[in-house]
Structure 1
Amino acid sequence: MTMDNFTQPFNPYLPQSVEEVPNKNSLSSYLPIRTKGNDFDVNAVIGLVLRGLLRKKVEGYSYEEFVSDCQEAFAEKLGEDEFWHVLKEMYFDNKDIFTVSPELLLFRAQKGEFSAGDSRVASMFTNLLQNTRVEEFDAKLNFIEREMLSTLRNKMKADSSLKASEEPYLPYLSEAFRDDLKFLARRPKYLLNEIEAFLSFYGFAYTAQLSLALTDWYSGQKPVAKPLYFIMDHERASNERTHIKNHGYKLFNESSTRLFPMLTMLELLQPRSGDKNVLKVPLWAISRDIQDSKYLHLKDKLENFARAFKSQRNLDTTLIESDSAIDWLDNVMKLAVAQFSVGERFNINKRYVVEVEKALASPFIQSRGRSGRVLVLNQDYLILLTNLVVGEKDKIRFYELIAAFEQRGVFVDKQTEQELIKFYERIGNVERMSDSGDAVYVRKTI
């Protein structure tokens, strides 16, 4: 939808009368959470994400058929029934075969194995991937496992159904996600061990940063990472730590109240092209394209829509009179938020924030008595994040590590920085050349 990629400037269909304005707010892009029905199976989500990454699927081929085909393959090569019974117990009876290669997890992305909720959550990650592809996983397998994987690959089919439907709202986070997943893909066993935690972290980081970025659209500039402060899960959270108190959980909770109001309005602003290949666009990109457009009627369309929406929702919000289309878009977004400030819609939005926290944020929130709730990272998440950031390098400087954390939506204060160094020293992946952060190097743990 950008001016660079499409021949048509921003020119959406917008309701122009009270009768055309929909009574209900609907959300189908940029966040998978709905006001209810947000239970999802993490194994199905993982299978769907890998299906989108590989562009392959296993369809019309049951797990039982796969086991039978493996038995037949080994009968031809080994010819010993007793040996097959050993393999069956080792790999198949309890589905331990799923730990051999990520490609085996495609069984969990078959029709009938996942729900609409699973599909929605997986689409969040598919959109972060922006059609990044991995041909296959080069796992270091023994002869037996290679034979099993070869049997599966013979049944795989090409699949392009799970692809991006949105331009990334947070390009910087999408880039980090793609880089980190490619790092994991080069280490299939590590990916299998960490994929659940990896998706859990990015699901929350994306949601939190999206909530912070939503109001910063007027300039039409791409968002940058906004400060959101975490502590290690064993740290104390005193009220004197102002960043932790004011720019941690409290900030996330407050900014989350914008998600449903602004994203449902963004849904109405999307162009109605009828072309499935046209991606949905972020609010900041719409702002940029409006400012780039020479179509004078955009101002009238946005003004008519704003007045119709205000009347249909019976709002008393004061509209700023202007000859600028971008100012009328500002009026539209103010109305989007205002409709949720009273009545039943206020309660609906409160429930939505609860659903967001429950579905995507709960591993990162702790209650600390009088200090209230705080955002935390436990040691497992920290080690994973550290390994992803160090990446293919042998080691990086500590301050570079902190900067890369911030690019992934994790900010820490000076006290937590010192706790991190102590933690790295305990697990033995730090080199301290001096007491300053400039001379502290951090290594991977893998």
Structure 2
Amino acid sequence: MDNYTPPFNQSLPQTAEGVPNKNSLSSYLPIRTKGNDFDFDAVIGLVLRGLLRKKVEGYSYEQFVADCQSAFEEKLGEEEFWQVLKEMYFENKDIFTVSPELLLFRAQKGEFAAGDSRVASMFTNLLQNMRVEEFEAKLNFVEREMLSTLREKMKPDSSLQASEKPYLPYLSKAFREDLKFLASRPKYLLSEIESFLSFYGFTYTVQLSLALVDWRSGQEPVAKPLYFIMDHERASNERTHIKNHGYKLFNESATRLFPMLTMLEILQPSSSEKGAIKVPLWEISKGIQESKLTHLKERLEKFARAFKSQRNLDTVLDESDAALDWLGNVMKLALAQFSIGERFNINKRYVLEVEKYLASHFIQNRGRSGRVLVLNQDYIILLTNLVVGEKDKLRFYELITAFEQRGIFVDKQTEQELIKFYERIGNVERMSDSGDAVYVRKTI
């Protein structure tokens, strides 16, 4: 990669006056310091719109109902029959449970807000332009006719495309595999899509916060241990993994998100460049290490000193002749600016916003034991079905390994609770008492 040009090569300010006064964030995480409310229905519609590369614009739900009425009256000729269908499918919008394609109505202009669009873009970037042509749901004659009526009004759409290289390629891969499995079972997808996106929004956020500090290696991140318990379990202080590598670890690592991601924003290619794709910090590090360009150290040093001056920081910079060390100084300054004054409070509020909007389903307060990360039974069943996937069954330890690839780690005590839970719902085969001989099946 002798000709590699790191993305910040032409864009870093060289003087304190050129350093932006505000910290802005527009990539890798949808949460801002305020205005984070979002509607999951709209998010789901937008994710499916990007997945299908199709949209429904300038065609209202009311027009769709009228077109369905015309189609059925023409074919069946019985007005009374239409009244039955109207009551069954349209009056309470039960039609949205027929096929995921109907949810495109929720991704029309005017139906979603900026917060919805930001959250949907997180998943669109995880998808990395994966595409599904259409969903092959098992429909009756009536439902096929309704879906056919909608498909006639769909238009091609390529506006919702990935704008970032994945920060966590391993998680992006698991997300695509799991969504592909759901897409092959449209009814199951419809019932679980909100929980599915909720889980991945959370695990992506946590694993991102844990991965940010490992940029120097220039290597793709791997899943970092983060420990959960089932929501009915006791969380005693003797369980050190739960105590030290659960909620506490997440809460501490989340303080890095806003400082490091806003600095990464400054290091990105100029948004004016056509088709500019955002890149992870570890890839910038890799580019510096593989580049033969001699002026990178000078540019990073000038920027670090300018940033330090503009922010009035007293951080001691490490003097070095290596560009990578000056990138280290830049990231040290990114964190230092949020350790004092009003910026410290801004970052504190940001962490609260992350927890409120992306993590609340996975955090419980256990009194004396404090806060812990939990998975309820619905999430466990969903994850189990996704991990077993197209196979008939999976060894329990293979299941646990696949959970870890999705950011879920459990201690030995929770492993035993999981086996008991699987036995209660009847989807486990125990060949012996050891975990090696326990097999888990899907529930669908």
Please, what TM-score do these two structures have when normalized by structure 2?
0.99
Specify the alignment match of 1:351 in structure 2.
349
User: Which residue type is aligned with residue 248 of structure 2?
Assistant: K
CA contact (8 A) 1:21 1:309 kept: yes
Aligned pair 1:336/2:315, yes or no? no
Specify the alignment match of 2:300 in structure 1.
302
**What is the alpha-carbon distance in structure 1 between the residues aligned to residue 335 and residue 429 of structure 2?**
50
CA contact (8 A) 1:50 1:103 kept: yes
CA contact (8 A) 1:231 1:376 kept: yes
Distance 1:83 1:162, change over 3 A: same
Specify the alignment match of 2:316 in structure 1.
318
CA contact (8 A) 2:5 2:287 kept: no
**What is the alpha-carbon distance in structure 2 between the residues aligned to residue 144 and residue 225 of structure 1?**
46
Aligned pair 1:213/2:247, yes or no? no
Question: Which of 123, 129, 132 is matched with 1:131 structurally?
Answer: 129
Specify the alignment match of 1:361 in structure 2.
359
Q: Aligned residues, how many?
A: 443
After TM superposition, give the deviation of residue 353 of structure 1 in Å.
Answer: 0.2
After TM superposition, give the deviation of residue 272 of structure 1 in Å.
Answer: 1.8
**What is the alpha-carbon distance in structure 2 between the residues aligned to residue 273 and residue 143 of structure 1?**
49
Specify the alignment match of 1:88 in structure 2.
86
After TM superposition, give the deviation of residue 274 of structure 1 in Å.
Answer: 2.8
Specify the alignment match of 1:243 in structure 2.
241
Which moved further from structure 2: 269-278 or 304-313? 269-278
**What is the alpha-carbon distance in structure 1 between the residues aligned to residue 277 and residue 434 of structure 2?**
47
**What is the alpha-carbon distance in structure 1 between the residues aligned to residue 28 and residue 6 of structure 2?**
22
CA contact (8 A) 2:126 2:166 kept: yes
**What is the alpha-carbon distance in structure 2 between the residues aligned to residue 200 and residue 76 of structure 1?**
43
Task: Tell me the alpha carbon deviations over residues 327-369 of structure 1, each in whole angstroms, 9 at most, x when there is no partner.
Answer: 0000000000000000000000000000000000000000000
**What is the alpha-carbon distance in structure 2 between the residues aligned to residue 291 and residue 157 of structure 1?**
45
Task: Tell me the alpha carbon deviations over residues 68-123 of structure 1, each in whole angstroms, 9 at most, x when there is no partner.
Answer: 00001001110000000000010011100000000000000000000000000000
Aligned residue runs from structure 1 range 352-391, under 5 A: 352-391=350-389
After TM superposition, give the deviation of residue 295 of structure 1 in Å.
Answer: 1.1
Specify the alignment match of 2:118 in structure 1.
120
Specify the alignment match of 2:416 in structure 1.
418
Which moved further from structure 2: 180-189 or 289-298? 289-298
Distance 1:440 1:51, change over 3 A: same
Please, what TM-score do these two structures have when normalized by structure 1?
0.98
Aligned pair 1:285/2:283, yes or no? yes
After TM superposition, give the deviation of residue 61 of structure 1 in Å.
Answer: 0.3
- Which sections of structure 1, spanning at least 5 residues, go unmatched? none
Specify the alignment match of 2:48 in structure 1.
50
After TM superposition, give the deviation of residue 181 of structure 1 in Å.
Answer: 0.2
Specify the alignment match of 1:165 in structure 2.
163
Specify the alignment match of 1:223 in structure 2.
221
Aligned residue runs from structure 1 range 5-84, under 5 A: 8-10=5-7, 11-84=9-82
Specify the alignment match of 2:177 in structure 1.
179
Task: Tell me the alpha carbon deviations over residues 283-307 of structure 1, each in whole angstroms, 9 at most, x when there is no partner.
Answer: 0000000111111111111000000
**What is the alpha-carbon distance in structure 1 between the residues aligned to residue 291 and residue 187 of structure 2?**
50
Task: Tell me the alpha carbon deviations over residues 194-220 of structure 1, each in whole angstroms, 9 at most, x when there is no partner.
Answer: 000000000000000000000000010
CA contact (8 A) 1:211 1:255 kept: yes
Aligned pair 1:199/2:193, yes or no? no
- Once superposed, what is the RMSD of the aligned Cα atoms? 1.0
After TM superposition, give the deviation of residue 278 of structure 1 in Å.
Answer: 2.6
CA contact (8 A) 1:303 1:328 kept: yes
**What is the alpha-carbon distance in structure 1 between the residues aligned to residue 60 and residue 6 of structure 2?**
47
CA contact (8 A) 1:12 1:269 kept: no
CA contact (8 A) 2:270 2:276 kept: no
Aligned residue runs from structure 1 range 424-443, under 5 A: 424-443=422-441
**What is the alpha-carbon distance in structure 2 between the residues aligned to residue 345 and residue 12 of structure 1?**
28
Report the secondary structure of 2:315's partner residue.
coil
Task: Tell me the alpha carbon deviations over residues 114-155 of structure 1, each in whole angstroms, 9 at most, x when there is no partner.
Answer: 000000000000000000000000000000000000000000
**What is the alpha-carbon distance in structure 1 between the residues aligned to residue 270 and residue 231 of structure 2?**
46
Specify the alignment match of 1:97 in structure 2.
95
Aligned residue runs from structure 1 range 239-278, under 5 A: 239-272=237-270, 274-278=272-276
CA contact (8 A) 1:261 1:337 kept: yes
After TM superposition, give the deviation of residue 276 of structure 1 in Å.
Answer: 3.6
Report the secondary structure of 1:375's partner residue.
strand
**What is the alpha-carbon distance in structure 2 between the residues aligned to residue 199 and residue 151 of structure 1?**
28
Report the secondary structure of 1:396's partner residue.
strand
Task: Tell me the alpha carbon deviations over residues 223-275 of structure 1, each in whole angstroms, 9 at most, x when there is no partner.
Answer: 00000000000000000000000000000000000000000000000022633
Specify the alignment match of 1:155 in structure 2.
153
**What is the alpha-carbon distance in structure 1 between the residues aligned to residue 248 and residue 185 of structure 2?**
37
- Which sections of structure 2, spanning at least 5 residues, go unmatched? none
User: Which residue type is aligned with residue 277 of structure 2?
Assistant: L
User: Which residue type is aligned with residue 222 of structure 2?
Assistant: V
After TM superposition, give the deviation of residue 391 of structure 1 in Å.
Answer: 0.2
User: Which residue type is aligned with residue 153 of structure 2?
Assistant: K
Report the secondary structure of 2:348's partner residue.
helix
CA contact (8 A) 1:12 1:270 kept: no
After TM superposition, give the deviation of residue 12 of structure 1 in Å.
Answer: 4.2
Specify the alignment match of 2:399 in structure 1.
401
Report the secondary structure of 1:215's partner residue.
helix
User: Which residue type is aligned with residue 54 of structure 2?
Assistant: K
After TM superposition, give the deviation of residue 55 of structure 1 in Å.
Answer: 0.4
User: Which residue type is aligned with residue 62 of structure 2?
Assistant: E
**What is the alpha-carbon distance in structure 1 between the residues aligned to residue 131 and residue 66 of structure 2?**
30
